[in-house]
Amino acid sequence: MTILTTKTSHHENKAKIAESFGSASKSYDFSARLQRFSGKHLMPWLPDKNDLTVLDLGSGTGFFTDLLATGYDQVIGLDFSKKMLKFAQGCRNKNIFWLEADAHKIPLQDESIDFIYSNLVIQWCEPLDIAIKEMLRVLKPGGLIIFTTLVDGTLHELKSSWKQVDDDQHVIDFKTEEQLGEYFNTDASTVLEHKCQDIILEYENVIHLARELKGLGANHLPKKKNRGLSGKDKWFTMTEHYKDFLEPSGVYPATYRLYSGLVAKLNSQHEN
Ligand SMILES: C[S@@+](CC[C@H](N)C(=O)[O-])C[C@H]1O[C@@H](n2cnc3c(N)ncnc32)[C@H](O)[C@@H]1O
């Protein structure tokens, strides 16, 4: 019974996340400062061989899928948001193969992919171990996962400002750096390199921050209670608390703790 409930709630959450990203598909590229930075940041880890099959997992508007298509023979963009895929299909390289699918159930053959590129996606993947198992299944032995995600510490200013107002969850739960290491350092895969850094973006006000999160489709919050109660008063009180973080120049900072990882699939993964 509990398992069924958990599965159903994962399913409902995924549908809401996909819908939220979908409704942001047209505005996404204007609010994607962080995504552009983090995605480019992975470039030095890309293999310098062209005859490879690449999967861009959670391809969004296809900005990086398009870049990958300039360097590799076969590129697949996978996303579970129909609208994101439609947008990408309309304006990106015509040779890209687009797939509407969930990262937890990748409709590709075992050992068919040379490397997976995934920029700021896996923080949305719950349960993460199932998504990782799927990535490792479709990767060839020795294949790579080159990814970024956000970890605990992200949006701590917003989190602590809300904490002074109520006990609701206003920011999604991010994994810790250590937990990510545990997820990827197993008998099936190993972390070859990783980096963790704080990226601080500046906003004119908290509404600007909220709009950017919305524009990115990053506004879906699972398990949020008392939705109806968080009215204008609560919002105003939260923004007053956020002023504690104001920089001398008067801008509002928001911290994004960015984890970048280079993971290799180990050759002997067959026991699952
Ligand atoms: C923050 S956007 C990043 C998009 C793109 N990688 C970029 O760098 O611009 C996250 C994307 O992951 C997709 N996504 C999130 N969870 C997913 C899942 N479980 N399966 C497939 N796509 C997912 C969303 O629909 C969204 O397009």
Q: Among 247, 272, 242, 253, which residue's Cα sits nearest to residue 170?
A: 242
Mean pLDDT of 253-271: 86
| Per-chain mean pLDDT for the chain | 87
Q: Is residue 220 pLDDT above 70, yes or no?
A: no
Q: Is residue 209 pLDDT above 60, yes or no?
A: yes
Q: Is residue 102 pLDDT above 50, yes or no?
A: yes
Q: Is the CB of 102 under 6 A from ligand 1?
A: yes
The more confident residue out of 100 and 33 is: 100
d(CA 180, CA 161) in angstroms, rounded, equals 26
Per-residue three-class SS string for 204-218: CCHHHHHHHHHHCCC
Q: How far is the CA of 81 from the centre of ligand 1 (A)?
A: 8
Three-class SS of residue 194? strand
The per-residue pLDDT for 216 is 67
d(CA 130, CA 239) in angstroms, rounded, equals 38
d(CA 169, CA 227) in angstroms, rounded, equals 10
For the stretch 221-258, pLDDT in tens is 555 555 544 577 888 899 999 999 999 999 999 999 99
Q: Say if residue 75 is exposed, middle or buried (CB neighbours under 10 Å; 0-12, 13-18, 19+).
A: buried
Under the banding of pLDDT at 50, 70 and 90, the label for residue 14 is confident
d(CA 184, CA 179) in angstroms, rounded, equals 9
Residue 236 near residue 133 (C-beta atoms within 8 A):
no
Percent helix, percent strand, percent coil in the chain, to nearest 5:
40, 25, 35
Least confident of 22-26, 142-146, 193-197: 22-26
How crowded is the C-beta side of 100, counted as CA atoms within 13 Å? 12
Q: Is the CB of 63 under 6 A from ligand 1?
A: yes
Q: Among 150, 200, 199, which residue's Cα sits nearest to residue 175?
A: 150
The per-residue pLDDT for 267 is 83
For the stretch 38-81, pLDDT in tens is 999 999 999 999 999 999 999 999 999 999 999 999 999 999 99
Q: Is the CB of 64 under 6 A from ligand 1?
A: yes
Describe the crossing of helices 232-242 and 206-215 by its angle, rounded to 10 degrees: 110
Domains of the chain: 12-152+174-198+255-265 (3.40.50.150)
Q: Whose CA is nearest to atom 1 of ligand 1?
A: 120
**CA distances in angstroms from 128 to 13, 132, 224, listed in the order given:** 14, 6, 20
The per-residue pLDDT for 261 is 98
Beta-carbon contacts of 108 under 8 Å, excluding residues fewer than 6 positions away, are 55, 76, 99, 138
Under the banding of pLDDT at 50, 70 and 90, the label for residue 115 is very high
Q: Is residue 7 pLDDT above 60, yes or no?
A: no
d(CA 101, CA 76) in angstroms, rounded, equals 11
Q: Is residue 272 pLDDT above 50, yes or no?
A: no
Kindly report the length of the chain.
Answer: 272
For residue 104, the ligand 1 atom closest to its alpha carbon is 19
Three-class SS of residue 79? strand
Sign of CA dihedral 46, 50, 56, 61: positive
d(CA 257, CA 248) in angstroms, rounded, equals 22
26 token code pair = 């047209």
Under the banding of pLDDT at 50, 70 and 90, the label for residue 33 is confident
For residue 218, the ligand 1 atom closest to its alpha carbon is 1
The per-residue pLDDT for 43 is 96
Sign of CA dihedral 153, 157, 161, 164: positive
For the stretch 118-170, pLDDT in tens is 999 999 999 999 999 999 999 999 999 999 999 999 999 999 999 998 888 88
The per-residue pLDDT for 32 is 79
Mean pLDDT of 181-199: 97
Q: How far is the CA of 243 from the centre of ligand 1 (A)?
A: 31
The per-residue pLDDT for 48 is 94
The per-residue pLDDT for 3 is 32
